[in-house]
Amino acid sequence: MDPLPTLKWKGDSLRLLDQRELPCNEVYIDCRDVNSLAGAIRTLAVRGAPAIGIAAAYGAVLAAITTDSGPDFIEGFQAKLDKLSGTRPTAVNLFHCIEIQREVFRKTGNREDAIKALLESADDLLAQDLDASRSMGRLGAELLKPDSTVLTHCNAGGLATAGLGTALAVIYEAWDRGLIRKVYADETRPLLQGSRLTSWELIRAGIPVDVLPDSAAASLIRDGRIDAVIVGSDRVAANGDIANKIGTYPLALAALKHGVPFYVVAPLSTFDLSTNTGSEIIIEQRSRVELSSYGERQLLPEGAGYWNPAFDVTPAAAITAIICEKGVISPPCEKTVRNMLDGVDMFL
């Protein structure tokens, strides 16, 4: 499968496929400075842990281009990276990629050298993500039985990465091998990333997909209609706990109860060995408006409170395996996670 045009450097700007407009409209936005890119990340025009990280890497290029050379250049550049760091707290790829770019910047001598080096680094990160997706797809497909029906949650496809995906990379590869019969995609309340984005991707790839309410997934698993649950992740802790889109945890519990494999697909850039367990992961809280209205229609009465976490944490004990580009971690625990990441210096 060819990569989706999720994000692309255009010489002096970063072009993003605006995911807020899908599936009805395929609209692109050009971010020419850090403020516009930060706004795009914060409002989910670009989303998904790997895609956010890569976008931030190109954001460092924008920071260098749009900061005047002179005595305040370094301070101004670093302040713009700080702005990108403050957009979303849970997806660790954002912080990994920004730190990589800070280190690249520290090794350069002037503004022109910095722009060139930062762009080369961002291009490398994008290429690495595509390679990782292909590897994870192959490794994950080997875990599925022929004629499988799988369930996925949120969007972990090309729209969430450099263009191919994590969980959906496995599904694409398994479909090409003739292993998948059908995919169920949770709608993924409240922003409907499953119904709007995942189903759009799968239909585009010619893969049969049914969208279901999040609240129906446990019954589907109980009734024996799901052979495997496959999800992505925004952060993997050192002990194998993972943070993913809200609603992932109950899926893992239902799969564990009914003996259905629960697979997490995450590139190495999503692992965070400085976070010991999932309890240490900062969970982003989203605004009331995501629950209180649908278009022009008000859904909540005045005075009603709200709780709108963007992610939840699934413990390693409920996960069958974590698939990364280096291999399959099973069972996930601190020992197996650290063994898999041994020698990956940037994550230690």
DSSP letter at 215 equals G
pLDDT of 320-347, one tens digit each? 999 999 999 999 999 999 999 987 764 4
257 vs 268: CA distance, rounded Å: 29
Beta bridge partners of residue 244, listed in sequence order: 312
Query: What are the residue ranges spanned by the domains of the chain?
Result: 7-133, 140-347
341 vs 336: CA distance, rounded Å: 9
* Nearest residue to 104 (alpha-carbon basis) of 96, 274, 30: 96
| Percent of the chain surpassing pLDDT 90 | 86
CB 322 within 8 A of CB 264: yes
- For 20, residues 6+ apart whose C-beta sits below 8 A from its C-beta are 43, 44, 45
Q: Looking at domain 7-133, which CATH architecture does it have?
A: Up-down Bundle (1.20)
Confidence band of 30 (pLDDT split at 50, 70, 90): very high
DSSP letter at 158 equals G
The model's pTM is 0.91
Please, what is the average pLDDT of the chain?
Answer: 94
CATH of domain 140-347: 3.40.50.10470
What's the length of the chain? 348
Residues designated as active site: 234
pLDDT of 149-160, one tens digit each? 999 999 999 999
SS3 74: helix
